[in-house]
Structure 1
Amino acid sequence: MNGVEAQVIPLHAPGRDKPGADTTDTSRGRSADDARRVDAPVVAFPGAAPNVEEAADLPATVGRLLEFLHQRLTGDYTVDEFGFDPELTEVLLLPALRVLYRKWFRVDTSGVEHLPLDGGGLVVCNHSGVLPLDSVMTAVAVHDEHPRHRYLRMLGADLLFRIPFAGALARKSGQTLACHPDAERLLRAGELVGVWPEGFKGVGKPFSSRYKLQRFGRGGFVSAALRTETPIIPCAIVGAEEIYPKIGDIRPLARLLGLPYFPVTPFFPLLGPLGMIPLPTKWHIEFGPPIRTDELDPAQAEEDPMLVFNLTDQVRESIQQMLYRRLAQRRNIFH
């Protein structure tokens, strides 16, 4: 990069919105977040939002992509304190993920009105699917379906950040380590934060246990929401359980590779790389009514373990009931 580094902007640098601030750009009728992205390159892709499809043609797309590459080479771009690169996310990552979201999994999203328009919020989701595709699909849902196209700042396991390429890419896409300090800092900065408290117990559970929520740990996410007085939004994801039906686990190989599990599916490892193609199941992502925490004393997060336990159980039960309701309405896994 010729020794040039990207600029690092703090979460609350001048010009960046703070929680609760008015984010409406009245002169153009859109959010300030959208206004800040107006000069970012945009790539046309199948299934894009109508305004992108209609406005972008091939020469303009190529020109924007070349401009993006030039900025990468010169270091003329910004990242925040966590390493989040919104321009790279908009130009390269989201278009690729939208192909899965709209064409492969054909995701239907509901309850977006329960996500806060601005300010902090903690989105708590069920986890499944052997590979955590459900997390990135939820991030696409939040960005594309939210009226202000907000980013979901996901909390990931430490294993992700130990993988050389995947860890760096996760940072650039806005993810950070699932720990209390990072979660609380993002929430206080007015970000939407996503957490999957089942962890590997959820994403790696056998097919026979599909849609049965695993233990939610010790309720650390509830403590973070209480201390920052931000709402908790339960989120239920139907469809991800069947993309890789896990029927076995080669544990000695998993230990050798340092993995929490080494899955066996009807197609993997029997078919090799072809077995890693996810089944094109039909997905539905539902955001439930928020659970408010601003009416509670933040000090109770430390002093009252039963409050944390009860709130954790309330969130878990809300997600489980949404899953049961959606499953009862589903005709089969592909429709």
Structure 2
Amino acid sequence: MADAKVIPFDDDRSRGSGSGAQRPGRRRGASGRRAGSGSGGGELGEVQRLPGRGPEQADEPVERPGSGASGGLEQRVAAGLAFLRRRLTGEYEVDDFGYDAELTDQVLMSLLRPVYEKYFRVDVKGIENIPDKGGALIVANHSGTLPLDGLMMQVAVHDRHPADRHLRLLAADLVFVLPVVNELARKLGHTLACAEDAERLLEQGELVGVMPEGFKGIGKPFSERYKLQRFGRGGFVSTALRQGVPIIPCSIVGAEEIYPMIGNAKTLARLLGFPYFPLTPTFPWLGPLGAVPLPTKWTIQFGEPIPTDGYPPEAAEDPMLMFNLTDQVREQIQHTLYKLLVQRRSVFF
């Protein structure tokens, strides 16, 4: 072999000449391989491996064009450009309520997700209690001065549910008269808090969310935090009974402290047409900086569903049944709130 190293033998037999000299036999090298004969008749050679090219070493994979980080970046850029083209040309779909699924998934949820994950660090429990398909009514407590709790609940369902379900929230009239907020709420899938819209969504198999406390809950003073207000007249129970969908209680801890409401400027609220004008330790004293919520630690827990499909159709008109079911949902949410508060280590951690 051309690359063989010649190793001379010191044996006297290999030095002899003539017909009486014995031909040396082949031996195995230290590696256990048989060494081949060299160029000389009386010399043996041992094959050496080339440095770094042992037989056990496989060839390194070759990166294909378009793969890796550069390929992923190209795909994201292409997807972004395609998204912009569809928005500019109007080639996207919205439902009868104005819900824009593509805009919600690719833009609005992406804007809310850092607040959900990094700022409020939301823990979600009981997500398995939400069905994978079919209509259901999620009933939650309402707090925090501004309705961030509804948005965080919407992100929790969207990101944590294995079936990638979308939560359609029922919102107050005020949401749909405010500039910009009105359009964004529609795009996110929110609709007016009325029985007709709720029943239409449930008939279509949508997941609907409602916060029966309304402004009484979100605008209550900090001294009454985590004390549920009246749940209206039980209209959400009547809606669930008519559609035969389960009611899922939801308890949210952490929203009460983001804007501790220590006062209410009622005169200013009437002038502006708001149900209340909050006064907090930071707002309006610090100006726009006072509108930044405190970074509290949140927990959202979805309770066990309360079935309604076992009741007859006329049950939706039974005021006593509606009262009992409303009270059952309210008590379950309140009990879970107290339980989560006991388990909480700190408001901020």
TM-score by length of 2: 0.79
1:149 matched to 2:171? The reply is no
Identity of aligned residues (%): 64
SS of 1:80's equivalent in the other structure is coil
**Structure 2 partner of 1:7:** none
User: Alignment length, in residue pairs?
Assistant: 281
AA in 1 matched with 2:343: Q
Find 2:329's aligned residue among 297, 315, 324. Answer: 315
Cα RMSD for the two superposed structures: 1.2
AA in 1 matched with 2:77: V
Find 1:67's aligned residue among 66, 69, 82. Answer: 82
TM-score by length of 1: 0.82
1-structure distance, mates of 2:87, 2:257: 38
2-structure distance, mates of 1:55, 1:116: 39
**Structure 1 partner of 2:239:** 224
Relative to structure 1, is the Cα distance of residues 188 and 264 closer, same or farther in structure 2, using a 3 angstrom cutoff?
same
**Structure 1 partner of 2:118:** 103
2-structure distance, mates of 1:204, 1:55: 50
AA in 1 matched with 2:331: E
Q: For 1:104-143, what aligned pairs fall within 5 Å after superposition?
A: 104-143=119-158
Aligned-residue offset at 1:56: 8.7
1-structure distance, mates of 2:261, 2:174: 20
1:329 matched to 2:343? The reply is yes
2-structure distance, mates of 1:59, 1:109: 34
Q: For 1:1-335, what aligned pairs fall within 5 Å after superposition?
A: 57-302=72-317, 304-335=318-349
2-structure distance, mates of 1:66, 1:236: 40
**Which entry has the higher C-alpha Rg, 1 or 2?**
2
Deviations 1:64-113 (A, max 9, x none): 22211110110101111111100000111001100010000000000011
Deviations 1:222-280 (A, max 9, x none): 00000000000000000000000000011110000000000000000000000010100
AA in 2 matched with 1:332: S
AA in 1 matched with 2:341: L
Deviations 1:172-195 (A, max 9, x none): 110000000000110111000000
**Structure 2 partner of 1:26:** none
- Structure 2 gap segments, 5+ residues each: 1-68
SS of 1:109's equivalent in the other structure is strand
1-structure distance, mates of 2:272, 2:128: 43
2-structure distance, mates of 1:298, 1:261: 39
AA in 1 matched with 2:181: A
**Structure 1 partner of 2:27:** none
SS of 2:180's equivalent in the other structure is helix
- Structure 1 gap segments, 5+ residues each: 1-53
Higher relative contact order (CA 8 A, sep 6+): 1
